[in-house]
Amino acid sequence: MQMALWRITTLIFIFTVGLKAIEREPYCPKYIESCPRTCWSLAAEGDYWIVFRKTMEPHGFLYATGEEGGDTTYAVENMSRMDFRFKSGVMAGIAFSPTAEHTVELSYKGLIEWEQIRKANSPTNQLVVPTFPLTTHDWVDTTFVQIDYHAKFNTVELLYWNHVTPRYVDYFAFAWIIGVPGIKLTDRMVYNTTKEYPSNIGTFTDQYKVSISNEMIGGEIGLDFEHNPMCYFTWGLQGKFGLMANMIEKTVFLNDQNSTEILVDRQMNTIRPSYLIDFNTYFTYHMKYAHIRIGYNYFNLYEAALSPNQIRRSKSLYQIHLSGQRICFNSFYAGLGFNW
């Protein structure tokens, strides 16, 4: 909460200082028609993002034994749904145009994190955490399970724009885009379990941790369309598709017998293909030395390894599982940019 308030306060400060530093009169981008085609320009922009992540329903990472129904079954079903509230993030970018036909852009988007805590209690010891192919004592017919989930998402992107028609000048403007996306997604799920044994034995506690790191790099291609109905206003649509190599690292830690016996402490690595679909629509208001932009972004990342999907009744914890896994973001953003 404190981090979110700090980001909002910083954004308001940047907007206030920026708006006081620029002239109030609208800047008409069509003025660049009088500029030779070889003139250059430089722009920098910072955005504040509100990111909504699609709900995850990774069924199977906890189940109940015994009769169906009752509080135990309800607790397990409740844990199988992860509703992510919106999270805040930032974007910072710089763009250089040596001529009116070409632009090179470098941007960073990140500081986006998600957390979930789920708890299930079974007084009759009916909870089971899958540890296939291992046989355990404390993870079967256990009393209490708490799951802590944490994920971080950061991206860096280098883009080259080939402007078919000059940006901000014509009534309609088009540009082809090619780029190099870099994505890092870390994903961790930690089980903490408590099992009540007879009074002469006592209460045992154990931990099961699965950590995933996805580091992706590849290429992408896209198209940008802009409509300039007024000299100080631009509305745009942008779509991109990317194919990447995903370097996945999975770490598994599992103990048993009241944390006295370490069953697994292992790291696995593999490289798999992943791809992305990125759609963006935005509105820009131009001033003499600055611009204000608001927009909406729809982002899909396919074939990323996620920790909740590594734990299943029939899936070995010694393998990396990612078939069909997808992360979907819906984001709204607002930002201030400066032009030179």
Band (pLDDT 50/70/90 cuts) for residue 332 is very high
Rg (CA), the chain: 25
Band (pLDDT 50/70/90 cuts) for residue 78 is low
Task: In whole angstroms, give the CA distance from residue 71 to residue 74.
Answer: 5
Task: In whole angstroms, give the CA distance from residue 267 to residue 252.
Answer: 6
What DSSP element (H or E) covers 7? helix 2-21
Query: What is the arithmetic mean of pLDDT over 185-214?
Result: 91
Q: Is the pLDDT of residue 333 over 70?
A: yes
Which residues are bridge partners to 316 per DSSP?
none
pTM given for the model: 0.82
Structure token digits, residue 336: 């201030």
Band (pLDDT 50/70/90 cuts) for residue 62 is confident
Q: Give all domains of the chain, ordered by start, each with its CATH number.
A: 2-339 (2.40.128.90)
Which has the closest alpha carbon to 327: 297, 296, 305?
A: 305
Could you give the percent of the chain with pLDDT greater than 90?
A: 49
Which pLDDT value is given to residue 59? Answer: 62
Which pLDDT value is given to residue 267? Answer: 94
CA triple 150-86-295, angle to 5 deg: 125
Of residues 322 and 112, more confidence is placed in 112
Query: What is the arithmetic mean of pLDDT over 229-255?
Result: 93
Query: What is the arithmetic mean of pLDDT over 283-290?
Result: 89
Cβ atoms within 10 A of the Cβ of 140, count? 15
Average pLDDT, the chain: 83
Let me know if 1 is exposed, middle or buried by CB neighbors in 10 A (0-12, 13-18, 19+): exposed
Which pLDDT value is given to residue 34? Answer: 43
